[in-house]
A and B are shown apart, each in its own frame.
Chain A
């Protein structure tokens, strides 16, 4: 059954943002800050957004970033779920890999940049590997936690019903671990965008991060804000997408 739209909830989501944007516009126009240079009005930022979009500049940089995020995040997540599943399901794999993974996990994704620049060079693979690293570990840990937290009685019952290990894993354990796995996806979807922007600012000449750095060198605060808005919106869209997907897959039984 379709849920009725909660108008009050929508209003609480939209009105504070509208109020913030209006305040921004007024403060910038009144010249309260040293000048429009430091804080251009929201309307001018939107006009610049339109110009950059119409020129194709924003689209080109955005597509570069998006492609890197999609490839790196997908590969990192698939690998994280696969290794996490093995670690959660087989104690011997967990005992073998856990010490190694615990050693690498604390290294921030951006900390790998110098090493990767020397190993891979400055090319398309560099940001993809960075996103892979940034996605892999959290998804892996959430998958391990999800699988280990499945009540053993479900597994016992499935075994008494004659199910094989593989069937138990795919038909019982993984579906029940989905909420935890999705927590990993949700957290890392936003983090992937934050990481790619940082990586592009430091080492890659294309992408939203690179556009951000160019704007900084030209002292174009309006473009910087456009880039930041794109980043914020993409983080939000990715997180909401996984929230929705999790809801579709698990809300029926949770």
Chain B
């Protein structure tokens, strides 16, 4: 062993994360996940994606159903109270209710859940994995952390949010029916037929797409803050998560607004 002089150098991480690399990881992992799972060739990344998806779905299904059920209760109560008669409600208002829920209430309610549970969970997971050097360990064994840590969680969010929207439409319907049954004696089958009449496949597809895009935007925000947030310092996981949630709340409003404007422009023109 010997020593000689050498140049000084700055300390910069070799592996860089950018919004482009995070998006790329979502498409790469998403693209190979379904064929590999279906053909029984799932690697550790695909297994993690399935595990995260099932975990997020089971963790949010109950709260999504309950939240949208309460939205349905409250909305129906408000509408019935402001409608001239039960007949007017059943014949004129109710046929519009399902579509209105689908377009305006469900994306908002599910979007909030995705922001709160998804962004908080994902950002804190990634940031704490940085602290515990799990991210470094993945790099060392040759796995890209964006593919192993970020993409499975992002895909879980992107797959789950639209599924929760479908669940939300029907649990809001149950809530609305309960109030209608108590207030105006609406029959269940009659109510469902009227409620579902404005839920078109096109409207359902739009809501599902809107939530998938919102979930992708929220994932990118989580990944960006998780991987690129402040340097490791005491309490930094909480600090990064708070910043990510604040950005995600603001961004979800902007994304929703832009998508609504786009949808309206598409319908009108």
**A and B found bound together:** no
Residues in A lying within 8 Å of B, measured CB to CB: none
